[in-house]
Amino acid sequence: MSSWLEMGGYGFYVWGSLVVVVACLLIEVIGLRMRFKSLVGK
């Protein structure tokens, strides 16, 4: 398990990529839903 997390010494780059992608997708979709709710609830 820990060797899998280390990704052969490239863990920072591999997991960093995943974190950046997931964070961007979530921020965009949550932001959009908030914008929609504020517009429709006016």
Partner 1 sequence: MKFNWYKYAAPQPFFHLTGKCIPWLLWLAALLFVVGFYIGFVLAPTDFQQGDAYRIIYLHVPAAWMSMLIYLVMAAWAGLGWAFNTRLSSMMATALAPTGAMFTFLALCTGALWGKPTWGAWWVWDARLTSELILLFLYIGFMALQAAIDEPRRADKAAAVLALVGVINIPVIYFSVQWWNTLHQGASISMTSAPSMVFIMLLGMLIMTLAFWSYAIAAAFIRVRCVILEREKNSEWVKEVKREYIRSKA
CA distance 24 to 16: 12
Residues that bind partner 1 (CB under 8 A): 4, 7-10, 13-14, 16-18, 20-21, 24-25, 28-29, 32-33, 35-36, 39-42
Looking at beta carbons only, is 2 or 40 nearer to partner 1?
Answer: 40
Q: Do 32 and 25 form a contact (C-beta atoms < 8 A)?
A: no
Minimum CB separation of residue 8 from partner 1 in Å reads 4
The dihedral built from the CA positions of residue 9, 14, 20 and 26, taken in this order, carries a sign that is: negative
**In terms of CB distance, is 2 or 9 closer to partner 1?**
9
